[in-house]
Amino acid sequence: AQSVTQPDIHITVSEGASLELRCNYSYGATPYLFWYVQSPGQGLQLLLKYFSGDTLVQGIKGFEAEFKRSQSSFNLRKPSVHWSDAAEYFCAVVSQTGANNLFFGTGTRLTVIP
């Protein structure tokens, strides 16, 4: 069965520092993978997605993620974090059952310090 693991519950970085949020998936075939961001009190906003093709995908707000099949990972990166990036980040994979529903990881809360 499909699943997503986000090993880091909470990460704190300084503004301007680089960021990497980890995501590992379990999936029987080539997965469709997503990163969503949730600001406090807000809904989920799509940052980027991977369906196929180039394993390095670019998203909004300067984020990118790399799909590594050998490591079953889809880590999210940003070279220089801004204070406005403080939020909860969720990795998700599409269900294998065909209904296209998403399975989410438990999320990583990002704190940015000045």
Torsion of CA 78, 83, 86, 92, to 10 degrees: -20
CB of 14 vs other proteins, minimal distance in Å: 26
> DSSP class of residue 85?
G
Q: Which is nearer to other proteins, 25 or 107 (CB)?
A: 107
Binding mask 27-56 for other proteins (x = CB under 8 A): -----x-x-x-----xxxxx--x-x-----
Torsion of CA 29, 66, 48, 45, to 10 degrees: 100
Q: Which is nearer to other proteins, 43 or 53 (CB)?
A: 43
Query: Is 77 among the residues that bind other proteins (CB under 8 A)?
Result: no
Pairing of strands 102-104, 87-94: antiparallel
Side chain identity at residue 30, one-letter code: T
Q: Which is nearer to other proteins, 15 or 44 (CB)?
A: 44
Q: Of 88-107, which residues contact other proteins (CB under 8 A)?
A: 90, 92, 94-95, 97-107
Show contacts of 52-61: CB within 8 Å, 24+ apart: 59/35, 61/37, 61/85
Binding interface with other proteins (CB under 8 A): 32, 34, 36, 42-46, 49, 51, 90, 92, 94-95, 97-107
